[in-house]
């Protein structure tokens, strides 16, 4: 059985998806502040390796590689933007819808590691 990474087309497609994702996230005012002072080139490389590993079926590493300060996490509402931009980046990288769904399902467990502020009750 092929991994989601293989179905997607390999690490070069993941790299393209990650690049497109960060272009979107950095242009979004509600997300851009999370990246202030971050070396985006290194972040893209790290996220590409992390994303490829998860799509190969490897467990996500615990903690952050080379982190000097704790990650403040992200708000639940902003995480919705992240997933939307990820889906858009997957589509723009010509990932088929069936693989797109499997990809989003594969990364869903990572939400608990990055969401630190719950949704606001409305």
Q: Which two tokens stand for residue 45?
A: 């490389």
46 in a labelled binding site: yes
CA nearest to 17, candidates 103, 75, 80:
103
Instruction: Kindly give, in sequence order, each residue whose CB lies less than 8 Å from that of residue 68, ignoring residues fewer than 6 positions away.
Output: none
**69 C-beta neighbours (distance < 10 Å), count:** 6
C-alpha to C-alpha distances, 99 to 5, 54, 103, nearest whole angstrom: 9, 14, 6
Residue list, annotated binding site: 46
Annotated binding-site residues for heme read: 46
């Amino acid at each position: 059985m092929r991994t989601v990474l293989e179905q997607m087309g390999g690490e070069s497609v993941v790299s393209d998806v990650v690049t497109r994702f960060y272009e979107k996230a950095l242009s979004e005012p509600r997300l851009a502040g999370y990246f202030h002072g971050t070396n985006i080139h290194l972040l893209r490389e790290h996220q590409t390796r992390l994303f490829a590993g998860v799509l190969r079926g490897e467990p996500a590493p615990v903690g952050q590689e080379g982190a000097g300060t704790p990650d403040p996490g992200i708000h639940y509402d902003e995480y919705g933007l992240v997933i939307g931009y990820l889906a858009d980046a997957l589509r723009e990288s010509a990932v088929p819808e069936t693989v797109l769904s499997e990809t989003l399902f594969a990364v869903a467990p990572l939400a608990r590691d990055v969401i630190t502020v719950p949704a606001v009750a409305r």
